[in-house]
């Protein structure tokens, strides 16, 4: 489990992390296994940990007042999952985070995460890189949802996340893209014909 985290950290930093540094970082993480359909976080609870996915598939979604699920994040190996707002402000989450496959995670709480940022320059460098990429991805997602056609949203999704097509059902992908399952089916059929 920890080998995946080491490889991940090294992919985000300018100089490989030393063994002693990584030993210090490892101590802050707690391994956890969850089964398919098991929740990592339920709406109304405070998000006390962020999770690094070493195996499996996770989805984050909210349920609106009509009972409709809206997927806001999909994640597989080497992705992080958690409710950043709840984690930062200790407020109740509006999201559910659920395993879509049996999954193995490395959990870290906010206090330990902040200690790692202060103690280990490599971890701080990784977090800085992640924050920058997260902001760029969020900006792209907003632009896509307010200005792109369903077809363009789908083709960009396929281009950026081809592995997700085999790991998540179409209704979750449609929800993530902000379109209906019928629209997604139509768009996929048009894309195949091209």
Strands (E), 101-163: 103-109
Is the CB of residue 24 less than 8 Å from the CB of residue 119?
yes
Mean confidence (pLDDT) of the chain: 94
Beta bridge partners of 63: 69
Q: What tens digit of pLDDT does each residue of 111-150 get? A: 999 999 999 999 999 999 999 999 999 999 999 999 999 9
The distance of Cα 57 from the centroid of its chain, to the nearest Å, equals 9
Q: What is the pLDDT of residue 122?
A: 92
Q: What tens digit of pLDDT does each residue of 68-95 get? A: 999 999 999 999 999 999 999 999 999 9
Give the whole-angstrom CA distance, residue 168 versus residue 56: 11
Q: What tens digit of pLDDT does each residue of 18-74 get? A: 999 999 999 999 999 999 999 999 999 999 999 999 999 999 999 999 999 999 999
Beta bridge partners of 51: 81, 107
The closest alpha carbon to 61, from 101, 21, 94, belongs to: 94
């Amino acid at each position: 489990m920890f080998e995946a985290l080491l490889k991940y950290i090294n992919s985000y930093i300018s100089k490989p992390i030393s063994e002693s540094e990584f030993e210090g970082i490892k101590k802050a993480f707690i391994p956890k296994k969850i089964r398919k359909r098991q929740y990592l976080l339920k709406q109304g609870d405070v998000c006390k940990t962020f999770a690094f996915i070493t195996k499996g598939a996770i989805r984050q979604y909210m349920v609106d007042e009509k009972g409709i699920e809206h997927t806001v994040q999909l994640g597989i190996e080497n992705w992080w999952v958690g409710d950043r707002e709840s984690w930062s402000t200790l407020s109740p989450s509006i999201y559910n985070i659920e395993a879509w496959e049996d999954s193995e995670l490395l959990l870290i709480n906010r206090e330990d995460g902040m200690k790692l940022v202060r103690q280990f320059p490599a971890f701080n460098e990784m977090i800085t890189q992640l924050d920058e990429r997260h902001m760029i991805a969020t900006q792209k997602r907003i632009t896509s949802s307010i200005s792109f056609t369903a077809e363009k949203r789908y083709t960009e999704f396929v281009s950026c996340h081809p592995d997700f097509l085999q790991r998540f059902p179409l209704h979750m992908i449609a929800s993530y893209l902000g379109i209906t399952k019928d629209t997604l089916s139509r768009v996929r059929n048009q894309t195949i014909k091209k």
